[in-house]
């Protein structure tokens, strides 16, 4: 039975039931629940410090009106990081490697920022479609181009996250397969390949965190344009 390299991105099933819902709920178990005690343990203190630092950095480009989004954006950031990191473990499934899931995150949030801009300040929101000082001959073309760029934003968010995770997982599988095949034939080359695999895995850990941060940061910038 031949196995494709892309089989790892298929949604796992058990008795015909997709397990992607279980994979999506599993990250919530990893984080400890905050208590009412004045003094928490080291894990809760570290978690709170990380969340506070991230929220502070996230809200820097936003004015006061966008601070109400802090809980949603911080939760999304932690959720994406958890899914991306869990997908690097052996024999696991990465839900964020599915374009449909990423678009399910990107489209509603992007649409919410657009609706907020059109409701609160429609003139300013529509003003983004036409830069100031545009020659009259270029006005129709620029409006079409800016409208296309506006509607392509959620697609770019989803494709960016999917492509980076998919490419990283494929590289890890290709290099690990090469190291396994070369071990009985050329042990020295296999050891060098395994070293490259370890370095690539560390790089993928960084990519998993950075891509989640970029996803939320771009949503923050889109929100800033409309508030």
- Range(s) of the domain holding residue 188: 61-226
**Crossing angle of helices 42-58 and 70-86, rounded to 10°:** 120
How many domains is the chain built from? 1
Q: Does the residue 166 lie in any domain?
A: yes
Q: Does the residue 4 lie in any domain?
A: no
Q: Does the residue 112 lie in any domain?
A: yes
- pLDDT of amino acid 1: 37
Report d(CA 75, CA 216) in Å as an integer: 10
Q: Does the residue 37 lie in any domain?
A: no
Q: Does the residue 9 lie in any domain?
A: no
pLDDT of the chain, 227 residues: tens digit per residue: 345 666 666 666 666 666 677 777 777 766 766 666 666 677 777 877 888 888 888 888 777 777 888 888 888 888 888 888 888 887 777 888 888 889 999 999 999 988 988 888 888 777 777 777 777 787 888 888 888 888 999 999 999 999 898 888 888 888 888 888 888 888 888 899 889 989 998 999 999 989 998 999 899 888 888 87
CA distance to 85, 93, 170, 178, per residue, from 7 (Å): 19, 10, 10, 18
Cβ atoms of 87 and 20 closer than 8 Å = no
- pLDDT of amino acid 12: 67
CA-based nearest residue to 52, from 27, 74, 84: 74
User: Taking the CB of residue 90, how many other CB atoms lie within 10 A of it?
Assistant: 5
Q: Does the residue 8 lie in any domain?
A: no
The answer to pTM > 0.75 is: yes
User: Taking the CB of residue 162, how many other CB atoms lie within 10 A of it?
Assistant: 21
Q: Does the residue 14 lie in any domain?
A: no
Cβ atoms of 88 and 96 closer than 8 Å = no
CA-based nearest residue to 220, from 97, 61, 88, 96: 61
- pLDDT of amino acid 136: 79
The SS3 assignment for 18 reads strand
- pLDDT of amino acid 2: 46
The SS3 assignment for 60 reads coil
- pLDDT of amino acid 54: 80
Q: Does the residue 201 lie in any domain?
A: yes
The SS3 assignment for 130 reads coil
């Amino acid at each position: 039975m031949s196995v494709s390299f892309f089989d790892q991105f298929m949604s796992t099933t058990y008795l015909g039931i997709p397990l992607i819902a279980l994979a999506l709920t599993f990250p919530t178990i990893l984080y400890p629940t905050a208590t009412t005690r004045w003094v928490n343990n080291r894990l809760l203190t570290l978690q709170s410090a990380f969340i506070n630092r991230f929220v502070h950095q996230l809200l820097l480009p936003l004015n006061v009106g966008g601070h109400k989004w802090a809980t949603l954006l911080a939760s999304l950031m932690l959720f994406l990081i958890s899914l991306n990191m869990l997908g690097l473990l052996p024999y696991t499934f990465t839900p964020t490697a599915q374009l449909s899931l990423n678009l399910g995150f990107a489209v509603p949030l992007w649409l919410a920022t657009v609706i907020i801009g059109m409701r609160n300040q429609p003139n300013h929101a529509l003003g983004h479609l036409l830069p100031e000082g545009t020659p009259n001959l270029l006005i129709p073309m620029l409006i079409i181009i800016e409208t296309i760029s506006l509607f392509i934003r959620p697609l770019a968010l989803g494709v960016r996250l999917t492509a980076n995770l998919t490419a990283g997982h494929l590289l890890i599988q290709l290099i690990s397969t090469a190291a396994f095949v070369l071990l009985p034939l050329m042990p020295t080359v296999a050891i060098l390949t395994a070293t490259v695999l370890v370095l690539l895995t560390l790089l993928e850990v960084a990519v998993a965190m950075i891509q989640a941060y970029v996803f939320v940061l771009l949503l923050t910038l889109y929100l800033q344009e409309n508030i």
